[in-house]
Amino acid sequence: MEKEKLYEQFKQLNFGEVLLDEPMKNHTSFKIGGPADIMIIPKREEDIVESIKFCRNNNIKYFVMGNGTNLLVKDSGIRGVVIKIGKDYDKIDVVDDRIICQSGALLSIVGKKALENSLTGFEFASGIPGTVGGAIAMNAGAYGGEMKDIVSKVQVLDKENNILELEKEQMNFRHRGSRVVDDELIVLAVEFQLKKGDYSIIEQEMKDLAYKRKSKQPLEYPSGGSVFKRPIGHYASKLIDDAGLKGLRFRDAQVSEKHCGFIINKGNATFEDVFTLIKTVQKVVRDKFDILLEPEIKIIGD
């Protein structure tokens, strides 16, 4: 189906905001990426479910994203439909020591809610960029904590269009992975189990972690976060540094001098700029240390 006709059809179906030829660089933290044929920004659970059902039933290629904080999108963009679960699907409720939120909620906002209600356990995640849905999919973590430590239930849409509620034990959480990835599930909502704590202690912990993050990571530049997975027994950033690659630049893409695990966009970096740098870093580290660095960021596009 032609994208213009598809665009008109989606507008009539009213699954949320519908955009045509939407530049992906406006929706990724790297600020890189060509146009998506169609982008849908759903407002309700049924918008997500029905838009995905429609794509599946009509054999239309689709991709579901959150805040785009770990995506590197090709300059040619994405054919088909991008369903962006974000700002319009981000309701957060606090019930006693639990926080129940829709998958488009930002972790930073959930962290603020936890603090407001003197709930402890979410501190490690309060500075992680991205949405709850993306964090659950990859079992996001920082500073000794991971999503698996605080999740109690996850509501998902499965490949047969069934809405399921999964307990933590059913999620197959592991380092930067989960059942969401294994079974191609779509996260709709999450329940976090936290504990009552002391407001001032929680606040201080969040401030300390925010300072650590700011002092050690190149947050002043667009990036996709840590580019490579941590190899067993090593740190990717140390291997890159030891290989003499700190500050290595290709056009407007650069290995950060502040944290070698990050590749930053110094201006108008393209997909090809960043991808060339990724390949170069992989080759040099493999040649020097016989270790293959695997990308942690997701590379997508057509």
The torsion region of residue 166 among left (phi > 0), alpha (psi -120 to 50) and beta comes to beta
257: helix, coil or strand? coil
Exposed, middle or buried by CB within 10 Å (0-12, 13-18, 19+), for 127? buried
Whether 101 and 201 map to the same domain: the answer is yes
Cα separation, 279 vs 189, whole angstroms:
36
Angle at which helix 107-116 crosses helix 199-216, to 10 degrees, equals 150
Find where tokens 């973590």 sit: 141
Alpha helices, DSSP H, located in 100-226 = 107-116, 132-137, 179-182, 199-216
Report which of 7, 69, 67, 70 is spatially closest to residue 36, judged by C-alpha positions.
7
On whether both 176 and 69 belong to a single domain, the answer is no
Q: What does the pLDDT read at residue 34?
A: 98
Residue ranges making up the domain that contains 257: 218-300
- Catalytic machinery residues: 176, 226, 296
Is the domain of 160 the same as that of 264? no
Q: Would you state the structure tokens that stand for residue 164, as one six-digit string?
A: 């399921």
Residues 231 and 282 in one domain: yes
Q: Say which amino acid occupies 109.
A: I
State the pairing for strand pair 71-73/62-65: unpaired
Residues 226, 189, single domain; the answer is no
Last residue of a domain, one of 84, 110, 143: 84
- Quick one: 274 and 289 in the same domain? yes
Please indicate, yes or no, whether residues 188 and 133 belong to a single structural domain of this protein. Answer: yes
State the pLDDT at residue 87. Answer: 87
Q: How far is CA 80 from the centre of its chain?
A: 20
**Which of 214, 232, 264 represents a domain boundary (last residue)?**
214
**Residues 6+ positions from 253 with CB-CB distance below 8 Å:** 263, 264, 265, 266, 269, 273, 274, 276, 277
Domain containing residue 119: CATH number? 3.30.465.10
| Residue that the structure tokens 């050690």 belong to | 216
The pLDDT assigned to 176 comes to 85
CATH number at residue 244: 3.90.78.10
Q: Let me know whether 135 and 66 are in one domain.
A: no
pLDDT tens, N- to C-terminus, the chain (302 residues): 689 999 999 999 999 999 999 999 999 999 999 999 999 999 999 999 999 999 999 999 999 999 999 999 999 999 999 999 998 899 999 999 999 999 999 999 999 999 999 999 999 999 999 999 999 999 999 999 999 999 999 999 999 999 999 999 999 999 889 999 999 999 999 999 999 999 999 999 999 999 999 999 999 999 999 999 999 999 999 999 999 999 999 999 999 999 999 999 999 999 999 999 999 999 999 999 999 999 999 999 98
Sign for the pseudo-dihedral over CA of 276, 142, 107, 128: negative
| pLDDT for the residue numbered 101 | 97
Q: What's the rounded Cα separation, in Å, for the pair 232 and 193?
A: 30
> First-to-last CA distance in the chain?
17
Same domain for 141 and 49, yes or no, is no
DSSP state of 25: G
Angstrom distance (rounded) from CA 274 to CA 254: 8
Query: CA-to-CA distance for 50 and 188, rounded, in angstroms?
Result: 13
pLDDT at position 196 is 98
Q: How far apart are CA 47 and CA 50, in angstroms?
A: 5
Q: Are 274 and 32 in contact (CB under 8 A)?
A: yes
Q: What is the CA radius of gyration of the chain?
A: 20
Coil, strand or helix at 105: coil
The enclosing domain of 73 has a CATH number of 3.30.43.10
Helix-strand-coil split of the chain, %, nearest 5: 35, 30, 40
Residues 197, 256 within the same domain: no
Number of domains composing the chain? 3
CA 84 to chain centre: 11
> Are residues 191 and 233 both part of a single domain?
no
Residues whose CB falls within 8 Å of the CB of residue 238, separated by 6 or more in sequence, listed in order: 260
User: Where is the domain boundary, 214, 233, 256?
Assistant: 214
pLDDT tens for each residue of 164-187: 999 999 999 998 899 999 999 999
Residues 108 and 209 in one domain: yes
Question: Are 274 and 30 within 8 A, CB to CB?
Answer: yes
Q: Which residues pair with 65 in a beta bridge?
A: 84
